[in-house]
Amino acid sequence: MSQEEMRDVVELSVDGPVATVTLQREKQLNALNRAVLTKISEVAAAVAERSDVRVVLLRGAGRAFAAGADIAQMRDFSAADAEAFSRLGQAAFAALEALPQPTIALVHGYALGGGLELAMACDIRIAAEGAKFGQPEVTLGVVPGFGGSQRLPRLIGQGNALYLLLTGEMVDAAEAMRLGLVSKVVPQDELETAGRQLAERLLTLGPYALAGVKRTVYEGAELDLHSGLRMEAGRFGLCFAHPEQTEGMTAFLERRKPDFPQASLDEGGAAR
Ligand code: DAK
């Protein structure tokens, strides 16, 4: 086995309350193969168990976030192989989305195909100037396989999603911002700092409320408006059985910064 193969294709590093997940197949522009997808699932499972981790940053090593699913691995797939591969990727990205901690994708270089689908499975996306986004699957004779046909229309609307999915065109960071695909664009050398700063902001907030927001939004996306509002009211009610609400509202009335209890994710049910 070469040095390259021995190195983990996905690295998890934890620095205090911030976890950083780094894709490390730089030579292939972090193309997502079975090994990478399996490892993303494992990393997500590990992070889900760690109440000390409060924010997750996701990034790509080298010159891209991720240039898509691994075309070399996929080319000779049978239909059954392809479906299994699709499910592997979908499960990995669903595990990321289901994390109670907020996740932030730091996108530079390319986020194409599966790479964009991975970024879309994160809660927030920040782009470096120069980053390119697209769903070029049609240029390879396939439809997206890791959620692109479902998450992209939900994120940027059906019309804009169909434009990107049908043309396979790449858009730059400014256009991605205009479309609502990313929330912020920063110079490339400031990407890590921007991620850190956003993480710092999230660390001042209560983990229970943050996890509750995620669940309410993602579960609500599956529901009609009335059911979604009912679900929201239920979660809102549960917050009032949790110490974060008492602290947040008391701090406001006492004109001080809240000091949210930290290891509080598992108390009550709003977050899960
Ligand atoms: N897969 C495999 N290798 C890739 C790759 C990819 N997606 N993207 C890049 N690479 C490799 C290149 O082959 C090259 O390898 P070597 O030749 O050095 O061995 C190396 O990374 C550097 O790439 P380039 O030399 O091409 O670098 P450039 O700067 O010239 O170009 C590029 C960068 C990103 C424009 C270009 O590499 C490119 O167009 N890459 C492919 C982008 C793409 O089409 N991505 C979408 C992949 S399709 C499904 C399941 C999943 C999916 C669909 C269906 N089902 C099961 C139904 C998902 C599909 C996709 O994501």
Closest atom, ligand 1, to C-alpha of 109: 34
One of 4, 137, 169, 222 is an active-site residue; which one? 137
User: Residue 262 has what pLDDT?
Assistant: 75
Rounded CA-CA distance 179/173 in Å is 10
- Is residue 93 lining ligand 1, measured as CB closer than 6 Å? no
Q: What is the per-residue pLDDT across 184-207, written as a single tens digit (0 to 9) for each?
A: 999 999 999 999 999 999 999 999
Nearest CA to ligand 1 atom 57: 145
User: Residue 6 has what pLDDT?
Assistant: 57
Whether residue 180 contacts residue 159, with contact meaning beta carbons closer than 8 Å, is answered with no
User: Residue 265 has what pLDDT?
Assistant: 54
One of 11, 49, 117, 175 is an active-site residue; which one? 117
Nearest CA to ligand 1 atom 49: 145
Judged by average pLDDT, the poorest of 23-32, 67-76, 260-269 is 260-269
Mean pLDDT value across residues 144-170: 98
Q: If you ran DSSP here, which 8-state letter would residue 171 be given? A: E
Mean pLDDT value across residues 157-177: 98
Q: How far is the CA of 26 from the centre of ligand 1 (A)?
A: 12
Q: pTM of the prediction?
A: 0.96
Which helix H or strand E contains 12, and what residues bound it? Answer: strand 10-15
Please determine, for residue 129, whether its predicted confidence score (pLDDT) is greater than 70. yes
Q: How far is the CA of 250 from the centre of ligand 1 (A)?
A: 52
- Is residue 140 lining ligand 1, measured as CB closer than 6 Å? yes
Mean pLDDT for the chain? 95
Rounded CA-CA distance 41/146 in Å is 13
User: Can you list the domains of the chain with their CATH numbers?
Assistant: 3-203 (3.90.226.10), 207-253 (1.10.12.10)
Rounded CA-CA distance 265/272 in Å is 8
Whether residue 109 contacts residue 63, with contact meaning beta carbons closer than 8 Å, is answered with yes
Show the tokens assigned to 250: 């008391």
Sorting pLDDT into bands at 50, 70 and 90, what band is 266? low
- Is residue 68 lining ligand 1, measured as CB closer than 6 Å? yes
Q: What is the per-residue pLDDT across 207-252, written as a single tens digit (0 to 9) for each?
A: 999 999 999 999 999 999 999 999 999 999 999 999 999 999 999 9
Q: What is the per-residue pLDDT across 1-17, written as a single tens digit (0 to 9) for each?
A: 454 455 799 999 999 99
Judged by average pLDDT, the poorest of 51-65, 120-134, 171-185, 249-263 is 249-263
Q: How far is the CA of 229 from the centre of ligand 1 (A)?
A: 42
117 is catalytic: yes
Please determine, for residue 172, whether its predicted confidence score (pLDDT) is greater than 60. yes
- Is residue 212 lining ligand 1, measured as CB closer than 6 Å? no
Sign of torsion over alpha carbons 76, 4, 67, 155: positive
Show the tokens assigned to 12: 């998890």
- Phi and psi based region of residue 104 (left: phi greater than 0; alpha: psi -120 to 50; beta: remaining): beta
Q: Which of 71, 73, 88, 142 to mutate to test the pocket of ligand 1 (most atoms within 8 A of CB)?
A: 71
User: Residue 11 has what pLDDT?
Assistant: 98
200 is catalytic: no
- Is residue 69 lining ligand 1, measured as CB closer than 6 Å? yes
Can you tell me whether residue 155 is helix, strand or coil? helix
Nearest CA to ligand 1 atom 51: 145
Rounded CA-CA distance 109/144 in Å is 20
Whether residue 55 contacts residue 203, with contact meaning beta carbons closer than 8 Å, is answered with yes
Mean pLDDT value across residues 18-35: 98
- Token pair 């943050």 is found at 210
CA atoms within 13 A on the CB side of 35: 13
Which helix H or strand E contains 43, and what residues bound it? Answer: helix 34-48
Mean pLDDT value across residues 30-54: 98
CA distances from 183 to 7, 132, 140, 171, 174 (A): 32, 15, 29, 15, 10
